[in-house]
Amino acid sequence: MASTSDIRNGVVLNIDGQLWNVIEFQHVKPGKGGAFVRTKLKNVVTGKVVDRTYNAGAKIDVENVDRRDYQYLYRDGDAFVFMDTSDYDQVSIPATVVGDAANFLLENQNATVALNNGNPLYVELPASVVLEITYTEPGVQGDRSNAGTKPATVETGYEIQVPLFVGMGTKVKVDTRTGDYLGRVND
């Protein structure tokens, strides 16, 4: 068991059987009363953010989370197969764990996988990826009914909004956190 003095940004705590990542922490020593630690925690699985306060010196349960670089190989039914880039071991990760990252995964793409006791917790992609537009309607000049954007399907099958001038076959940069179009990429 660790104490509140071990709390740092990025540490994962086990609270009531759930894993919580420390986003922010602050040691507070008021003039009156005992010291305490104010934390902002994010649930590793659901992404829910909560505030929690601990008395100074309270015992906490710190979990070991191993973040490793993996390469995405292929989809196998309801699972995604990744290969550890250091020892070439392959691991099958369920679609529920991969989540929205599946919308931006291309074969042979690198990603960070967080593991706890050998169980995958989540897949983390780079902030942006380059994808090719596989289908989009031609943009009509003067059509401003939807702020000058149109729907476009990228090579993973995900649909994003792009400016009217972007056509099929264009490579675009996409934000993996929001799915927003960031710009064209020149080869």
Of residues 85 and 143, more confidence is placed in 85
Give pLDDT, residue 66.
86
Of residues 187 and 24, more confidence is placed in 24
Residue 143, pLDDT > 60, answer no
Residue 9, pLDDT > 70, answer yes
Instruction: Name the domain boundary from 87, 109, 124.
Output: 124
First-to-final CA distance of the chain: 53
Inter-residue contact 118 to 135 (CB < 8 Å): no
Tens-place pLDDT, residues 59-68? 999 888 888 8
CB atoms within 10 A of CB 27: 12
Please indicate, yes or no, whether residues 27 and 51 belong to a single structural domain of this protein: yes
Inter-residue contact 129 to 173 (CB < 8 Å): yes
Of residues 47 and 115, more confidence is placed in 115
Please indicate, yes or no, whether residues 33 and 57 belong to a single structural domain of this protein: yes
Please indicate, yes or no, whether residues 115 and 104 belong to a single structural domain of this protein: yes
140 phi and psi, to 5 degrees?
-95, 120
Give pLDDT, residue 64.
86
Inter-residue contact 152 to 164 (CB < 8 Å): no
Give pLDDT, residue 141.
64
Tens-place pLDDT, residues 103-139? 999 899 999 988 888 888 888 888 899 999 999 888 6
Q: Which CATH number does the domain housing residue 135 bear?
A: 2.40.50.140
Please indicate, yes or no, whether residues 70 and 57 belong to a single structural domain of this protein: no
- CA–chain centroid gap for 171, Å, is 22
Give the pLDDT mean for 158-162. 91
Please indicate, yes or no, whether residues 142 and 174 belong to a single structural domain of this protein: yes
Residue 72, pLDDT > 90, answer yes
Cα dihedral 99, 104, 107, 108 sign:
negative
Range of the structural domain that residue 144 is part of: 128-184
Q: What angle do CA 31, 35, 37 make, to 5 degrees?
A: 130
Confidence of residue 144 (pLDDT cuts 50, 70, 90): low
